[in-house]
C-alpha cells in the first residue's frame, strides 16, 4: 500500500472575521503600523520577521494556515538579528489563547552569507514534514553572487519538505508594463520550477478584506502543496511538479529597504528621511 501524505487538504478554508481581526491586530502591533501608516520604525538589530511590515504579514498568514494543519514552519532571512533568547511565540499563540496545544515558539533562521532561499532548501531537504518560508525581491533572486545557490534547486516531493518563497515586486507604472512584467516573471519562475500565485498588497491600506484575500490565497497554495505531496505518495507524478511561489506586488508607498537599514534613516511614518 502506498504511503498516505500527511500534507492534507482541509475543509473550512475561510477564516472567521474574528480571526482575521486578530491577525490584523497582531500584524499592526508587531510591524508598527497604525490606521494611517507606520507609527514606529523597527529597533536596530530587531529580527525582520518580528518587525518588518512585509515579513510580519507573511508570518501571520502562514502561521494561521500551518496551525490548523499542525505543520512546523521555519522562516528564513539573510540578515542576522540581536535576539539571544529566541523570537517569541507564533501569532496564533497570541490570538488563540485557549489552544490545547499551548504556545509555540516562532522558528527563525538567518542565512548570511548564503542566499535565504538556498538556506531554506538546506533546512527542508531531510525533513519531509517541514515547511520553510522566505521572502526575496526580484533583485535578490537574480543576484549573480547568489543565483547559482538556488537557481536549479527544488525539493524532492516524496522525500523532502516544502519551500515556500514569497517574491516581492513593485507595481509597474502602466498596465502595459505590468502585463509585460508579469509575463516575464511567470516565464522566469516556471523555468525554475515554480507556479506563481499573485496578489496585490498595499501596506497603507490593509483592510480586513485584504487579509481575507491573502488568507484565501495561502489556502490555495497549501492545497496545491497537498496535491503535489499526495500525487508523489501515490507515485502518479509524471514529471517534476511546479511548486507554488507567492508573488506579492506591493505599492510604491512601501520600500523593501525600510526593513533592512538602521531605523534612524527613516522619519516618522516610514518614509526615507
- Domains within the chain, CATH numbers bracketed: 26-265 (3.40.50)
Instruction: Output the tens digit of pLDDT for each of the chain's 273 residues.
Output: 344 456 666 656 789 999 999 999 999 998 887 666 666 666 778 888 998 888 999 999 999 999 988 888 999 998 888 887 888 999 999 998 887 778 899 999 998 888 889 899 888 887 878 899 999 888 788 877 777 777 667 788 888 899 999 998 888 888 899 899 899 989 988 988 899 999 999 887 889 999 999 999 999 999 999 999 999 889 898 788 999 999 999 876 555 555 554 444 333 333 332
Using an 8 Å Cβ cutoff, are 263 and 52 in contact?
no
- ∠ CA(151), CA(152), CA(156), 5° rounding? 130
Nearest residue to 26 via CA among 106, 100, 101, 83: 106
Distance from C-alpha of 59 to C-alpha of 75, rounded to nearest angstrom: 8
* Burial of residue 98 (number of CB atoms within 10 Å: 0-12, 13-18, 19+): exposed
Share in percent of the chain as helix, strand, coil (round to 5): 40, 20, 40
Nearest residue to 12 via CA among 215, 224, 228, 226: 215
* SS3 category, 58: helix
Give this prediction's pTM.
0.87
* SS3 category, 168: strand
| Grid coordinates given for 106 | 516562532
Using an 8 Å Cβ cutoff, are 54 and 257 in contact?
no
Distance from C-alpha of 132 to C-alpha of 111, rounded to nearest angstrom: 12
Amino acid at each position: 500500500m502506498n504511503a498516505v501524505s500527511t500534507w492534507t487538504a482541509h475543509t473550512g478554508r475561510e477564516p472567521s472575521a474574528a480571526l482575521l481581526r486578530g491577525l490584523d491586530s497582531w500584524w499592526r502591533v508587531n510591524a508598527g503600523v497604525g490606521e494611517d501608516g507606520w507609527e514606529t520604525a523597527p529597533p536596530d538589530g530587531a529580527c525582520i520577521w518580528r518587525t518588518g511590515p512585509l515579513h510580519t504579514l507573511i508570518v501571520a498568514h502562514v502561521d494561521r494556515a500551518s496551525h490548523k494543519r499542525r505543520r512546523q514552519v521555519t522562516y528564513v532571512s539573510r540578515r542576522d538579528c540581536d535576539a539571544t533568547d529566541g523570537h517569541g511565540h507564533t501569532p496564533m499563540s497570541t490570538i488563540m489563547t485557549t489552544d490545547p496545544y499551548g504556545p509555540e515558539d516562532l522558528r527563525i533562521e538567518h542565512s548570511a552569507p548564503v542566499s535565504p532561499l538556498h538556506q531554506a532548501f538546506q533546512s527542508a531537504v531531510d525533513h519531509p514534514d517541514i515547511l520553510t518560508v522566505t521572502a526575496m525581491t526580484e533583485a535578490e533572486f537574480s543576484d549573480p553572487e547568489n543565483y547559482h545557490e538556488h537557481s536549479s534547486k527544488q525539493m524532492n516531493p516524496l522525500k523532502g519538505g516544502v519551500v515556500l518563497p514569497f517574491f516581492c515586486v513593485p507595481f509597474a507604472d502602466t498596465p502595459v508594463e505590468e502585463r509585460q512584467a508579469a509575463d516575464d516573471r511567470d516565464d522566469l519562475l516556471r523555468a525554475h520550477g515554480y507556479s506563481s500565485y499573485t496578489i496585490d498588497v498595499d501596506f497603507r491600506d490593509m483592510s480586513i478584506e485584504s487579509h481575507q484575500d491573502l488568507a484565501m490565497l495561502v489556502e490555495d497554495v497549501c492545497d496545491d502543496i497537498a496535491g503535489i505531496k499526495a500525487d508523489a505518495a501515490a507515485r502518479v507524478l509524471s514529471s517534476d511538479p511546479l511548486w507554488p511561489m507567492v508573488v506579492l506586488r506591493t505599492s510604491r508607498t512601501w520600500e523593501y529597504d525600510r526593513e533592512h537599514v538602521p531605523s534612524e534613516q527613516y522619519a516618522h511614518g516610514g518614509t526615507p528621511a
